[in-house]
């Protein structure tokens, strides 16, 4: 695809923006949990890994090098696994209390899938620089 690297970069930037949005709401204790602020829980900062990985991938999507494409594929795979982990961890009910999911949390796995797809489809030069 001609614009796969741009679409991958924009998807990374959207995922970075989603880290700071509310992910779940726990009604019994009136807590709103985002990827960056999870006070009152044992979740830590579940958005720290996506923030770092997407920042690196957004830069690598713009580099037309083969190594950048391979590193992007590796980081996108780690990103998808981490987002699946976050979704399972944050949406699991605890003592009968089911947290309310927001659209931001539900859109993070499709965004991660789009990033990994664009990492496979992004262009990279496959020819050598010295003519034979």
What is the structure's pLDDT at 46? 86
Helix (H, G, I), strand (E, B) or coil at 23: strand
Give the span between the Cα atoms of 105 and 45, in whole angstroms: 14
What is the structure's pLDDT at 78? 95
What is the structure's pLDDT at 84? 93
So where are the chain's domains? 4-121
Residue 101 near residue 11, CB atoms below 8 Å = no
Chunk the chain into consecutive blocks of 10 residues (it has 132) and report each block's average pLDDT, rounded to whole numbers. Answer: 82 92 88 82 83 93 88 94 91 84 92 92 65 53
Give the span between the Cα atoms of 46 and 25, in whole angstroms: 15
CB atoms within 10 A of CB 54: 27
Give the span between the Cα atoms of 102 and 106, in whole angstroms: 7
Parallel/antiparallel/unpaired status of strands 22-26 and 31-34: antiparallel
pTM of structure:
0.84
């Amino acid at each position: 695809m001609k614009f796969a690297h741009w679409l991958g970069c924009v998807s990374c930037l959207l995922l970075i923006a989603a880290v700071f949005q509310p992910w779940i709401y726990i009604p019994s204790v009136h807590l709103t949990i985002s990827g960056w602020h999870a006070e009152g829980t044992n979740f830590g900062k579940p958005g720290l890994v996506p923030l770092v990985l997407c920042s690196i991938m957004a830069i690598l999507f713009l580099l037309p090098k083969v190594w950048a494409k391979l590193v992007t594929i590796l980081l996108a795979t780690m990103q998808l696994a981490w987002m699946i982990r976050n979704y399972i961890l944050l949406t699991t009910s605890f003592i009968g209390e089911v947290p309310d999911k927001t659209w931001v949390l539900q859109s993070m796995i499709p965004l991660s899938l789009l990033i990994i797809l664009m990492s496979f489809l992004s262009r990279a030069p496959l020819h050598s620089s010295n003519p034979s």
